[in-house]
Structures are given as C-alpha cells and as structure tokens.
A and B are shown apart, each in its own frame.
Chain A
Amino acid sequence: MQNMRGRKTLKKRIRSHLPLFIMMLPGITYLLINNYLPLTGLQLAFKKFKYSQGIWGSQWNGVKNFTYLFRSGDAAVIIRNTILYNLVFLVLGTVFAIFTAILLNEIRQKSMKQAYQTLILIPHMISYVIVSYIAYAFLGNDNGMINSSLLKGMGLPAVSWYTEPKYWPYILTLIHLWKTFGYNSIIYFATIVGIDTAYYEAAIVDGAGTWKLISRITLPLLKPTIITLTLLSIGRLFYSDFGLFYQVPMNSGLLYSTTNTLDTFVYRGLLETNDVGRASAAGFIQSIMGFLLVLGTNLIVRRVESENALF
C-alpha cells in the first residue's frame, strides 16, 4: 500500500516536472553520444581493429596490443615524457603563477593592475597553431630570429632547432609557462584579493616585513587553492596538451624522443600511421590511469584535509 502510493506520487512528480525533463533531453543526449558511447570503444585496446568491422565486430586478441606497445619501447618513452613534462609544468607553473599573483596584488593603481592582467593573459587567448608560427619565427632554420640575428650576432653557429631533440624539454617548458602563467596567476590573485586585510594590518603592527607577510599570511591562506589546482593537475598526469606537443615541434619526427607523448602517439597511430592497435592500448592506459589518479588523489585529500577534496 505504502509502496503503491510512493510509486504513484513519483509518477505524479515526474509528470509535473515533464517540461524540465524535456529541457534536459538535448544536453543528456549529447553527453550520452559524446562522452558515454565512446567508453564502449575502450574495448578496442583488447581487439584487432578493422575499420570494416567496427568497434563491436572486430576480433578479440587478448593483450597483444599492450605487448607490442611495451616491446617496441614506445610505451616507456611516451609515458615518461607525459609524466615528466607534467611534473615540471606543475611545479614551475605553480611557483611562477603564485609569484606573479603576489606581485599583481602589490599594484595600487587600478588601471595599471588591469593593464598588467590584460597583457599577461594574451598568450592564453592564442591558439597553439599561432603559437607554433611564433615559435617558428624564433626557431626557424634559415629565417628564425635566434639563428639569423642572435646567434649570428654573437658569432655562434646556427642551431638546427627542429632536428635536435635535446633542446625541446626547455623550449616546450618555456612555451607552456608563457601560455599558462597569466591564466593561473589570475586564479591565485582572486584568492589573494579575498584575504581579509586585517591579517596584514595586525602583522604590520607587530613589525612584520614584506617577506614575513608573504610567507606567514599569503602563502598559508593560498593553500586550499594550491591543493585544488594541484589535485586537478595530478588527475591529468597522463594527459598532455596535444597542441603544445604536436603543433609547436611541427610534428617533426626527429624530435619524437623528447616531444612524443601519449596524446600525440594516439593521434599518429589513429590518423597518420594506421597503428590503431598500439594507439588504443596507449589510449586505454591514459583513460584508466587518469580515472584512478583522480579517485586516488581525492581519496588521500579527503583523509588529510577533507574540506579541500573535490568530491
């Protein structure tokens, strides 16, 4: 009886909310198509894919894709590159962004503050295609500014940047920082602006200097933001910015040892070298590891500082 009535009211509630359900229909449908349906494609990591047979029709082949991937040595390089770049980006990016945010907070004139913010955010507005043109203007073999002006001016021989892998960890880190520091510093700046000025005033009365104010008040109060952003980055440890690693080195094969990451490897396997087996194995590792890392880091944070957990 109770149950019957419960069901009836649920039915009624659904009916009275029907317009809301209809509103949600396009969005939910899109998520099912764009985000959920592709999850079924993860099985391809364990299949021998043929275009004519599709995701479901292709034959199972056990873990062969993974053994190929790891035997060929590519797995070690792309996983190493992806993780190491991300760690360097995370550490340098965070330090650099917080540094910039603290400096921004020192500026009194509103117009100057806004001018700085506008300018340092410009790189964020530009697509990686254009960034790769800018990089080329600097690094191009015959016409690049570094070779034709800088090195020449100092009497040094030209460097063939697009064929020398050893320079690229520095180049890519620099470009990544250039493109993202403005964006991240604005997030930190927003947190700093929210800090109660009474803390600073009290500390100044106690005779605290600039460094003390920063290290004892600003940084500790930034901790929640730092944790949240770090958490998000760790969850993306196995993901790399496809634009940075594909566009900026101009897809140069000679640079793969230091520029190939999981994302570029998967892309090339799918659309350039028709090596879908190994590429889907690499994609599988990326998806699963990304998921586990988000869950894992969130679990740890929930234990240590539950208010900073993402969910």
Chain B
Amino acid sequence: MAVTGKQFRIFSHVVLILLSLSCVIPLLLLIMSSFTSEAALLRNGYSLFPEAFSLEAYQFLWHSSGQIMNAYRMTLLSSLVGTLSNLTLTTLLAYPLSRRSLPGRSFFSFLVFFTLLFNGGLIPSYLVWTQTFRIKDTFFALILPNLLMNGFGVIVMRSYFSTNIPNEILEAGRIDGAGETRTLISIVLPMSKPILATTALMSGLAYWNDWQNGLYYLVKRTDLYTIQNFLNRLIASMDFISNNATNSAITAGITVPSVGVRMAVAVIALIPILIIYPFLQKGFVKGIVIGGVKG
C-alpha cells in the first residue's frame, strides 16, 4: 500500500538492507570462525575473512561427538515431548473455557488470567519443583517447569475458538449424538489448524531454545543436558579458562575444546533452526501478530 515518494522508498530499501545485514553478519562471524584453522584463529582471532579455511573443528567434533550427539538427542526428545504435551494441555483447557454454557467459566478464566499478572518468582518455583515434586536431575526437569503451558497461550487459543467456531456447528454435532470429546476431536480441531500450528511452533521454539530449566534443575545428571545446556556449560568453562583460575568443579565431566571447536558447537546448535526457520517463517510471523495484540 506504499503511497509515499520514490526517494523515501529507496531510503527504505537501503536501511532495511543494512538492518538485515546487521542481523546476519554476527551469525556469519560465528560460522566463518568455525571453519577457520586453529592456527589462524590463534594468530588473527575470530574473523569474517579467515586466512586459512579448515574443517579441523568439525573433524574434532566428529571424533569426540559422544556428548554432543547425546545432547542433541535430549534437545529433540524434550522438544517433541514438551511441544506435544503443551499443545494437548493448552487445547484441553482452552476449549471448555470457550464454551459459553460452562458453569464457573468466568472463575476459571480468571484463574488463567491471574497467572499473567502475579507470580512467585524463581525461588518459590524452584523450591516447589525440587522439594515437593523432586524433579531435580530427572527428565521431567526439562519439560515441566514454566514451559508446559502458559496462561497467555490458553487465552489466545480460547478467543480463537470463541470467534471462529460458531455455536450452531457445535449444537448440530450434539444433535447428531456426538459427545464433548467427539465434538472437540472431529469438529473443533479440524477447524482450528492455524492456531494449533501457531501454538505448536511457539512452544517448540521455546523448548528447543530453553537452557534455564537445565541450568536450574540438572546438577549431577549432565547426561540429560540438551545442546543449549551443553553450550552453556562450555561457555562457563571458557570464561573460567580465560580468567586463568583453577576450579575443577566447573569443567568436571566436560572436555574443553579449543578456540575453533567452541564456535563449531554453537553452529551445530544453530543449524537446525536456520534450516527449518525459512519454511516456517510465515507461521512465526502469524504467531507474533496473534500474540502481540490483546488475547
């Protein structure tokens, strides 16, 4: 709908190209560094224009990849389990709340909404999850705290159901003898693919990128580390080495790779997102727009 002058349009292109570059170049630095030979890195530091290309970082990772492959598996597993559980829980709560006839509807809606206004913070949550539910050093630590369902997602999905699914269709289903579960599965869900996809996408990204649950709740079981936790541990030891301190507790259990390998690990963690993202870009934009306005 651009209606303004030609000059301004050219200006827009120029600025947007610069902004796009600023988003890509930092990633390029990461990728270039991972393909630079260790000797060149030590001589010139990380650079966009490496003096000598080399695959040695990746070769090293290939040969000592046990931990990384394991972390990868954990990322995949927790993202899959987490996203499916999130989708199920959110849908099962949002659908009844979208039904006008539900007794106590406003009370339950408030129960969901209030969680967006007030929360206890890290310490109480940590104590509830570790002392009452004892999820520390279990797989559940990656799934349960905070990410499993959030009030905002429920509210967004609920309003999608109430605005997009006419009551008459639900009524018709009931007259045909469909129970509530049947109605949900064979009438409501097929009509709600966009919101289901958006919810799954957002939840999937949150699980894939999460490192906080691992940081809080995985202390001894480093075998449960996701790729993000692994990277996080690596950077902690990197920091520690650059400060020349000696504290074996930080590096215990993890071998510290050299300068280039660090960047290679980060690239490996990044690649799935960079590959999948362009295909799902429209979905993400839609999700942002839905989430950005009032739920």
Residues on A close to B: CB < 8 A? 10, 13-14, 17, 19-21, 23-24, 26-28, 30-31, 33-42, 44, 51, 54-55, 100, 103-108, 112, 114-123, 125-130, 132-134, 136-138, 140-145, 147-149, 162, 178, 181-183, 186-187, 190, 193, 197, 200-201, 204, 209-210, 213-214, 225, 228-229, 235, 242-243, 247, 250-252, 263, 266-267, 269-271, 276, 279-280, 283-284, 286-287, 290-291, 294-295, 310-311
Contacts and interface: CB of A to CB of B under 8 A. Distances in A.
B166 interface: no
B213 to A, nearest CB: 12
Nearest to B95: A23
A149 to B, nearest CB: 6
Given A44-B123, A129-B232, A27 B133 contact: no
Contacts of A42: 120-121, 124
Contact of B154 (A27, A36, A133, A190): A27
Contacts of B254: none
B255 interface: no
B146 A134 contact: no
A213 to B, nearest CB: 6
A38 B4 contact: no
A37 to B, nearest CB: 5
Nearest to A213: B4
B23 A137 contact: no
B83 interface: no
Nearest to B89: A27
A190 to B, nearest CB: 4
A121 B124 CA distance: 34
A115 B281 CA distance: 10
Contacts of B62: none
Contact of A140 (B1, B212, B242, B292): B242
Nearest to A218: B4
B8 A266 contact: no
Given A145-B29, A283-B121, A290-B118, A193 B103 contact: no
A145 B123 contact: no
B78 interface: no
Q: Chain B's interface: helix, strand, loop or mixed, by majority?
A: helix
Residue of B41, B123, B274 ringed by the most chain A CB atoms within 10 A:
B123
Given A26-B92, A106-B2, A20 B9 contact: no
A149 B121 contact: no
A28 B24 contact: no
Nearest to B281: A118
Given A31-B149, A133-B231, A138-B26, A149 B47 contact: yes
B131 interface: yes
A76 B283 CA distance: 43
B120 A119 contact: no
Contacts, number: 308
B293 A27 contact: no
A298 B96 CA distance: 28
B269 A130 contact: yes
Given A39-B124, A134-B29, A26 B209 contact: no
B132 interface: yes
A229 B13 CA distance: 27
Contacts of A31: 111-112, 115, 149, 151
B30 interface: yes
Residue of A35, A42, A290, A291 ringed by the most chain B CB atoms within 10 A:
A35
B58 interface: no
B204 to A, nearest CB: 11
B85 to A, nearest CB: 9
A106 B9 contact: yes
B123 A41 contact: yes
Nearest to A54: B131
8 contacts: A23-B92, A26-B89, A129-B235, A149-B45, A190-B293, A210-B5, A284-B121, A311-B113
Contact of A41 (B108, B124, B289): B124
A284 B111 CA distance: 21
B45 A105 contact: no
A201 B113 CA distance: 41
Contacts of B209: 125-127
A23 B264 CA distance: 45
B3 A145 contact: no
A311 B269 CA distance: 40
Contacts of B99: 17, 20
Given A107-B12, A116-B20, A187-B289, A19 B179 contact: yes
Nearest to B219: A271
Given A17-B102, A20-B96, 12 more contacts: A10-B103, A23-B95, A31-B149, A33-B128, A38-B120, A39-B124, A103-B11, A136-B238, A145-B48, A190-B292, A200-B3, A270-B122
A110 to B, nearest CB: 12
Nearest to B132: A37
Interface string B212-224: 1000100000000
A266 B121 contact: yes
B259 A143 contact: yes
Given A27-B93, A41-B120, A108-B9, A136 B132 contact: no
B119 to A, nearest CB: 6
